[in-house]
Structure 1
Amino acid sequence: MIEILLGNPLFRGTSPDELAQNIEGISYQIKSYKKGDILAFQGDVCNKLIILLKGSVRGEMIDYSGKLIKIEDIHAPRALAPLFLFGTENKYPVEVTANEDVEALSIPKESILILFQRNKRFLENYLNTSANYAKTISDKLFFLSFKNIKQKLASYILRLSASAGDKLVMDRSQQELADYFGVSRPSLARELANMQEEGLITVDRKHIAIINKEKLKEMIR
């Protein structure tokens, strides 16, 4: 377990011996889940940190119509929703389902507080990870605010171009991007083809070249 945990960003910079000493005497539990099992329901109180030791899960948000919108896949050895362990509304923002057989380490909040005291680097890593997680959720909500797929794609492409320029590589496959937007893959592919026909972009698999950036900006104003 120590070797697996050292691959988690929360324990970056910690030696095996140091981590073994840190977790000595604290309360934790290792639990197994089968494919399709629910690790946490949206709205459940988050009073323990769950770290995947094996396998992967998906986080899905249920909208007001009852539709499941996939937020992301989480693979071992990442933690689930570290941002929501603390605060007055410490509830899971998504439903977490096992994609395959999973083993997970569960550490109660009280034990996490002990780890904060024992390891300053762990505390710093936890704060950084929480901030990154908050940005992921913020970006997801930003994309959901657009009414149609074309607006979501325009915003996504413009965001990537801010650092990559007018010739960029998508950081997700079309299926992953469709899941991220909460749409079907054929609908996403069709809209990409439409944008290319309209002279906005050119598409070659994951490579995109922006042809008319001003038009893309107009679409999301």
Structure 2
Amino acid sequence: PISKIGIILSGEINIIKEDFWGNRNILNKFKSGEIFGEVFALAKVSPNNILVETSQNSKILFLDLTNFSIDNENNSSEILKFLSNIFKISLKKNILFTEKLEHITKKTIREKIISYLSTEALKNRSNSFFIKFDRQELADYLFVERSALSRELSSMKKDGLIEYNKNYFTLIK
């Protein structure tokens, strides 16, 4: 079981789910100031085939929760505040996973891309924005082949739906 929470002090990490055959799916990407592993550490369970991978040089502070108990009646106000903050973070992550589920359940690659880019445009309140993934990471996040993703992005650009340069996108109405 996981007993530590990771706090990203600098850099970025990808949370990856890998199957028996080595197929990778990026569950999410987290950057400096964010935490990971909190649900597993507090629930004292083992994640199945979930990996943490740095996508650049990173510094991570690990908090060991081996002797930490949620059920302790003597929890101080600091512990209760900590748990409240962890709960809020977990709720936000749940929303991100729900968004991802919406993207990956689309039938075509184009629909997956449109779903993801539309969500990012709404979050940024602009039709032009940076995404947090490079091409391979976006393919892994949307659970599609990189070459198919690149082909579909090119097709969408040719059809006048989008413009892009690396991870900067503009949606065209």
Structure 1 residues 53, 116: closer, same or farther in 2, change over 3 A? farther
For structure 2, which runs of at least 5 residues remain unmatched after alignment? Answer: none
Give SS of 1:111's match: coil
Q: Is structure 2 residue 107 aligned with structure 1 residue 147?
A: yes
Structure 1 residues 170, 57: closer, same or farther in 2, change over 3 A? closer
Q: Could you report, residue by residue, the CA deviation over 1:135-160 in whole angstroms, capped at 9, with x for unpaired residues?
A: 22222233222233211111112223
- Counterparts of 2:99 and 2:26, CA distance in 1: 13
| Alpha-carbon contact 2:19-2:49 (below 8 Å) kept | no
- Counterparts of 1:52 and 1:163, CA distance in 2: 24
After TM superposition, give the deviation of residue 103 of structure 1 in Å: 5.5
* Partner AA of 2:140 in structure 1: D
Corresponding residue for 2:98? 138
Q: 1:117 aligns with which of 76, 79, 88?
A: 76
* Partner AA of 2:156 in structure 1: M
After TM superposition, give the deviation of residue 207 of structure 1 in Å: 2.9
Q: Could you report, residue by residue, the CA deviation over 1:21-67 in whole angstroms, capped at 9, with x for unpaired residues?
A: xxxxxxxxxxxxxxxxxxxxxxxx34x23224666543211347651
Q: What number of residue pairs does the alignment pair up?
A: 164
| Alpha-carbon contact 1:174-1:185 (below 8 Å) kept | no
Q: 2:50 aligns with which of 66, 89, 95?
A: 95
Query: Where in structure 2 are the equivalents of 1:50-61 lying within 5 Å?
Result: 50-52=5-7, 57-61=13-17
Q: Is structure 2 residue 139 aligned with structure 1 residue 210?
A: no
* Partner AA of 2:16 in structure 1: E
Backbone CA RMSD of aligned residues: 3.4
- Counterparts of 2:24 and 2:83, CA distance in 1: 33
Flag the structure with larger Rg. 1
After TM superposition, give the deviation of residue 74 of structure 1 in Å: 4.0
Query: Where in structure 2 are the equivalents of 1:27-46 lying within 5 Å?
Result: 45-46=1-2
Identity %: 18
- Counterparts of 1:109 and 1:131, CA distance in 2: 23
Structure 1 residues 75, 174: closer, same or farther in 2, change over 3 A? closer
